Chains A and B, each alone.
Chain A
């Protein structure tokens, strides 16, 4: 199975086999929700009323657990006439839902996921899917009624070629013309290629093409049957952190649509990554591509819950237990952080706990139903909090244990293969699992999480703290000094005059102790921790350093990180690592970033502030003389608001006005590139769009930005802004004297 269409009260189930595509019609399907009460009698009294509802097909008495902590009890299973009837029905029954009386379950499941869950259908495709992409230049989609005059149809999975998919066409082809001609041409090409998966730049293409065809009276299809379907996002979509107002979703019969504008996993991983999660979450591809991390994590948990006879609560009536202020105080401490010791440290080693939070959950049996269990109420298992953790195996450790093991296996396989296609597949899968594992901890503390529980969140934090603090102690006893520690990693340097145990030894001992693997992540010739601005304390995630010899490629991070803007990209290959400083920030102009990387290289060479300042002075001279290419000074700015919503006339506003003049539509969330040409102005003349190829720039503005970048490099060696300015002034004086 790879796609589902809900129509006319039934379900079309599309599958790809080795021979082609098959569709099976399921007329019988009736989605089920559940009603529970304190006792069966109060349900029985209302059963006839429920059965009389037009959206209800039938009801049945079944035994389920209303929560992980509860015993099985008799509940009413309500079969609805079709997926679209579930919500209205639930809304009507909601009038009954009160704390302690009636509760509704299995209400807000996405339709495809629900179908697979209730019918035991595996949404993972049996054979490789045929993929096709349809792209439209952004300008074509401006306005409320876009008219598409240019459209490119091409291979669908260009960035993640894998065994799970084949391209439906070999080469991209662009069609142009009036909207009706373009629609007809696209329709023909899609029909000829007959893909299972349509990858769209934006799903807004769908209504636009259909509309153009309708106006011209042309017969048009994108799916394997006529028509398309629009599903309002907000009514069916719940995102992590927020029940959101997401944009409408479009689907076409017989194909899975991936909307590049509205997909986390397809963007962050690839088709193989998505398909891996399709199998684990039970969400069909189209829903999976749409889903947030929390949504997928919830789906995985829902499957586990149902397998254990537990229903899925609609509203989160479950609240935390009372705890003493002292416990809350301990719980509030959060993850372990040791402020980095500001300065340049020689011979630094970074050690990371591998997937610390998931592993803490797995090894400490942290689960919503195990933390503060009734059966061991007198035990204090969680350090600092005094919560008990049940001896019975929790469901969350089981779920995550499987994911951790799967990811370890994928990473192993990745190390053993050079085949690019296989690597792309494995990387995508590893990355997809990484996101789930990364989010599982935060999700526990999220109040609207279906199965989250704040006490789990607190317990995980407390255990993780303990792991880190114990590790710190062992490392210090072993002759090392901890210069930085954050959440799951520690940075050490040899303690002068101490007898040292090798780090590998210590890491092994700590691993054994903690039950979580501590790995030597990277070794550096030196690392500089940057202080926060206006303070001497170290900024937690601002540092740079030089990797030790022979520690370049391997330490470049997670195997799947390759596709992302990596460490040290563009400046001295892989030798340097930059974190949180200007050259890593998207908004920093390319030239300023380059200067900063060169300054870091200079610091590496001289280890003294003066020569670094000398290099800086040369760059500034070029800048002042107007010899820098304005294109390299473009500032990339992500637009967060509509143009009218900015309170002050900023550079961004000026850039937006210019874009508007040029007829370019920049939506919130998109970026605009501009060069500052006269920062004194408060009109649109303040900036020029990068696209306008400006010939000059405001040297004063870029000087300021360059000095800021220089300060990040020099502040660890105790040269602040004044010191740098004084040095530069002296030097300029000297220059004047020399030439004068």
Chain B
């Protein structure tokens, strides 16, 4: 399900020793991908979204929760400002608001939509605003809607969990793929069932990997891959543009 853009990036050691200039990031395929991180996933999440938009073109619909859509961070991460116009965000601050936004998704998805993002998708339904059973049911309805959008529109949907527990279990069951992002001494590593990649050597200090500067650097370094779409940014890709089309250029 996940491919790495540079074909020779399989051997991690080789990647570092050969000083490969273009760092790897996993590609998002149609279906629900659960991004699983040790902590709050703002850095890798935003990097994956931007990378996808720059590679695949199109727009992202982002239903936010718990302040993941930090526009300031995203603006600093983005290699070009224009890509910010292609991320459309609406925030749910209550379970009912979140459910309303998800309910609207099928109507909001347009031909140019190439990605749907729902950080902490379970988060709003955990509060005490609604009785637990009502909240759980609302969460499941939302999840079903999201799965339907992914399936019927053949769209990549990127989600994260607010917490990894029983309440969020339906989320991992519904996910077509789980992408773990963990910190290693060599840099963040993305791992799924059939794939593993080290993004980029994080330098001697492992802590740097989670910083904004790190992800900014990664995205800059991937610029050669983005070049094609970055240039056509202004023209806005046509409705028929597909991920494969843009990525292969």
Contacts and interface: CB of A to CB of B under 8 A. Distances in A.
B94 A329 contact: no
27 contacts: A99-B103, A99-B138, A315-B130, A316-B97, A317-B97, A318-B97, A319-B91, A319-B97, A319-B100, A320-B90, A320-B97, A322-B89, A322-B90, A323-B89, A324-B87, A324-B88, A324-B89, A325-B62, A325-B69, A325-B71, A325-B75, A326-B85, A328-B89, A329-B71, A447-B93, A447-B97, A454-B93
Select the residue from B81, B87, B98, B141 with max chain A CB neighbours within 10 A: B87
Contacts of B97: 316-320, 447
B71 A332 contact: yes
Nearest to A313: B96
B99 interface: yes
Contacts of B101: 319
A317 B90 contact: no
Contacts of A319: 90-92, 96-98, 100-101, 104
B92 A328 contact: no
A332 to B, nearest CB: 5
Contacts of B129: 243, 448
A334 to B, nearest CB: 11
A319 B65 CA distance: 12
Contacts of A326: 71, 75, 81, 84-85
Contacts of A329: 71-72, 74-75, 84
B245 interface: no
A100 B103 contact: yes
B129 to A, nearest CB: 7
B69 A318 contact: no
A739 interface: no
Contact of A322 (B71, B81, B84, B88): B88
B61 A322 contact: yes
A53 interface: no
B145 to A, nearest CB: 10
Nearest to A446: B93
Nearest to B86: A324
B134 interface: yes
A317 B71 contact: no
Contacts of A320: 90-91, 97
Interface in B47-86: 61-62, 69, 71-72, 74-75, 81, 84-86
Interface residues of A, number: 24
A94 interface: yes
A99 B138 CA distance: 9
A315 B96 contact: yes
A298 to B, nearest CB: 16
B108 interface: yes
Contact of B90 (A94, A100, A323, A332): A323
Interface in B114-157: 129-130, 134, 138, 141
Q: Tell which of A319, A324, A329, A447 has the most Cβ of chain B within 10 Å.
A: A319
Nearest to A332: B71
A317 B87 contact: no
Contacts of A332: 71-72
Given A99-B103, A329-B71, A454-B91, A316 B84 contact: no
Given A99-B103, A324-B89, 17 more contacts: A315-B130, A317-B97, A319-B90, A319-B92, A320-B90, A320-B91, A322-B89, A323-B89, A323-B90, A324-B85, A324-B87, A326-B81, A326-B84, A329-B75, A332-B71, A332-B72, A448-B93
A326 B90 CA distance: 12
Given A329-B72, A329-B75, A448-B94, A318 B100 contact: yes
A315 B97 CA distance: 9
Contacts of A321: 90
A328 B129 CA distance: 26
Nearest to A326: B84
B229 to A, nearest CB: 17
Interface in A308-351: 315-326, 328-329, 331-332
A325 B96 contact: no
Contacts of A323: 88-90
B219 to A, nearest CB: 15
Nearest to B50: A325
A186 B89 CA distance: 61
A451 B119 CA distance: 26
Contacts, number: 84
Given A94-B134, A316-B94, A332-B71, A325 B99 contact: no
A325 B134 contact: no
A191 to B, nearest CB: 44
Given A94-B134, A243-B129, A317-B100, A325 B74 contact: yes
B85 A325 contact: yes
Given A321-B90, A324-B88, A316 B71 contact: no
Nearest to A329: B71
A107 to B, nearest CB: 13
Given A99-B103, A317-B100, A328 B71 contact: yes
Contacts of B104: 319
B52 to A, nearest CB: 14
Nearest to A314: B96
B84 A317 contact: no
A325 B74 CA distance: 8
A448 B141 CA distance: 22
Nearest to A320: B90
Interface in A77-125: 94, 98-100
B228 to A, nearest CB: 22
A318 B90 CA distance: 12
A324 B103 CA distance: 19
Identify the 9 closest CB pairs spanning chains A and B, nearest first: A447-B93, A329-B71, A319-B97, A325-B87, A325-B84, A322-B88, A328-B71, A319-B100, A326-B84
A447 B89 CA distance: 16
Nearest to B137: A98
B87 to A, nearest CB: 4
A322 B108 contact: yes
Contact of A325 (B89, B138, B141): B89
Contacts of B93: 447-448, 454
A325 to B, nearest CB: 4
A394 to B, nearest CB: 21
Contacts of A316: 94, 96-97
Interface string A242-262: 010000000000000000000
A462 to B, nearest CB: 14
Interface string A437-459: 00000000001100000100000
B235 to A, nearest CB: 17
Interface string B99-111: 1110110001000
A343 B100 CA distance: 51
B107 to A, nearest CB: 11
A320 B108 CA distance: 13
Nearest to A328: B71
Name the residue in B69, B71, B84, B89 with the highest tally of chain A Cβ atoms < 10 Å from its Cβ: B71
Contacts of B86: 324
Nearest to B130: A315
A506 B103 CA distance: 52
Contacts of A448: 93-94, 129
A129 B138 CA distance: 50
A320 B90 CA distance: 6
Contacts of A322: 61, 88-90, 108
A251 B79 CA distance: 63
Contacts of B99: 99, 317
A324 B82 CA distance: 10
B227 to A, nearest CB: 22
